[in-house]
Amino acid sequence: MPSPAREIERKFLVDSPAEDLGGFPHKKIRQGYIAVTDGGTEVRVREEGKCHFLTIKEGRGENRGQEEVEIKHSQFAALWPLTRGQRLKKIRYEVPHGGRIVEVDVYRGKLKGLTTAEVEFPDEGTSHDFRPPEWLGREITGDERYSNQDLARYGRPSEAGSSLHLDEGDRAH
């Protein structure tokens, strides 16, 4: 059986998004979680415009397994009620930087006021060599309080106390 595809990404807080953010390509996203295990495996559905996806991710931190399949709107609609109480809405902007795309997520609804950014990489070496633009804030790669699954289930984290969870091989940059 083949191994799942890998998703290698780093995540950052964005304290002050650029004023011209609306000038970059963007899409509205709503996603909900059907199941989340203690080990970080998640099953989610996502709507991006007119496209719908079922995604399974495994693990935590910078390097995770991921399988994603496009599903029909009717399948999304049938699964969406299973995500009640475990949902989030955001607008994702695609901002180019240094040959990469920085995906800036401006959260809506119960997470309004939170903005994060993610950058995906083809391998860990490229990830570790990446120098973030100055407008990105503190790196939160591996901080599970800011994982989309935890944001959807528990809401915006408080900054009092840290529950940073790093698996071996993950880096807090």
In this structure, what are the phi and psi dihedrals at residue 100, rounded to the nearest 5 degrees? -120, 170
Long-range contact list for 93-100, CB < 8 A, 24+ apart?
Answer: 93/21, 93/22, 93/24, 93/25, 93/26, 94/24, 94/25, 94/26, 95/18, 95/21, 95/24, 97/132, 97/133, 98/130, 98/131, 98/133, 100/130
- CB-CB contact of 44 with 68 (8 Å): no
154 catalytic? Reply is no
- Across-strand partners of 35? 43
In this structure, what are the phi and psi dihedrals at residue 58, rounded to the nearest 5 degrees? -130, 145
DSSP annotation of 147 reads S
Out of 33, 93, 107, 146, the active site residue is 33
- CB-CB contact of 9 with 123 (8 Å): no
> What is the C-alpha to C-alpha distance for residues 16 and 125, in angstroms, rounded to an integer?
28
Q: Which positions are annotated as active-site residues?
A: 33
